Amino acid sequence: MDSKDTFFSRKLTVNCGGLLLDLTAPRVMGILNHTPDSFYDGGRYMKEAEIRERFEELITEGADVVDVGCYSSRPGAADISPEEEKTRLSEVLKVISKIPHHAIISVDTFRSEIADFAVREYGVSMINDISAGRFDDRMPEVAGRLKVPYIMMHMKGTPRTMQIDPMYDDLMKEIIAFFAERINTAREFNVNDIIIDPGFGFGKTVEHNFTLLRNLEVLEMLELPLMVGISRKSMICRTLDCKPGEALNGTTVLNTMALMNGANLLRVHDVREAREAIKLYEAYKAT
């Protein structure tokens, strides 16, 4: 037994509509954005054939979870109505429903009505909320009622304001306090399965992001699975002076660091490379 396991008893299995996702070994969440303005893949998967090809690519490369997002949360992204988000989501989920697969489908939304729609109408079995219920206070109640795993992310501010001079007195202390409060709220609504996402790039400078990466293990005190979403983000691009399309190698390096510091779920654009990083990490750990 790893020595750190003696201090915390983390709940690393979540129930996704009757399918158990075991996170004692790291898993991969593949990203499917059906948006015209996401920071890396905006506009790539708008047509039915493009959606099908992307989904099949994620499945073939070994995604355990596919996260469907129809609202861009990049800094400065345009707001869209719930009706537009629901229309976009339906376009994706209708395509996915026709393709045989065994992946868990997650909906990336901060709106409770969208989450409720996706779970009830299309059998989506996970909710990924960048606001941790702060933008829609009905979200914890919906997640609890639907009995699906709930991913809550730390963000300072909103997508429109989060990168305007973000400041912290103590980064890790503030993130832990944030999660303690949001977890307590979710538990009040009987949300049984929670995954935390510390929110790389959301209300954080490049320096904040690297401090967070270096101290990920501190979050184990919350005794919950940890998701990390670093894929092709600005902390890589600004450090290496490259564009998101050139940031795959940097993503793999930082994903490996995240695994070594306790990440249980990697949210990525590039599934095959993430699975290779996990396989190498597991071999390293086994020696």
CB 95 within 8 A of CB 48: yes
| DSSP H helical ranges for 61-199 | 82-96, 112-122, 139-146, 171-188
- Residue 6: inside a domain: no
Does residue 1 lie within any of the structural domains? no
Q: What residue numbers bound the domain in which 207 lies?
A: 26-286
Q: Residue 246 maps to which CATH number?
A: 3.20.20.20
In a domain, 5, yes or no: no
Contact residues for 84 (Cβ-Cβ < 8 A; gap 6+): none
Q: What is the pLDDT of residues 193-239, one digit of tens each?
A: 999 999 999 999 999 999 999 999 999 999 999 999 999 999 999 99
Other CB atoms within 10 Å distance of the CB of residue 179: 22
DSSP letter at 79?
P
Contact 225, 10 (CB under 8 A): yes
Cβ atoms of residues 37 and 77 within 8 Å: yes
pLDDT digits (tens, 9 = 90+) for 241-273: 999 999 999 999 999 999 999 999 999 999 999
| 157 is a domain residue | yes
Residues marked as catalytic: 233, 267
How many domains are there within the chain? Answer: 1
**Most distant pair of Cα atoms in the chain: their distance:** 52
What CA–CA distance (Å, rounded) separates 241 from 236?
8
In a domain, 133, yes or no: yes
Residue 37 lies in a domain: yes
- What's the count of helices (H) and strands (E) in the chain, helices before strands? 9, 10
Residue 147, domain member (yes or no): yes
Give the bridge partners for 197, in sequence order.
Answer: 153
Containing 257, the helix (H) or strand (E) segment is helix 248-260
Question: Higher-confidence residue: 121 or 1?
Answer: 121
Amino acid making up residue 189: F
Confirm whether 3 is domain-assigned. no
Looking at residue 105, what is its pLDDT? 98
Token look-up 């909710």 returns: 127
Amino acid of residue 19? L
Q: Is the entire prediction scored with pTM above 0.75?
A: yes
Q: What is the pLDDT of residues 127-176, one digit of tens each?
A: 999 999 999 999 999 999 999 999 999 998 777 666 677 889 999 999 99
Give the three-class secondary structure for 126: strand
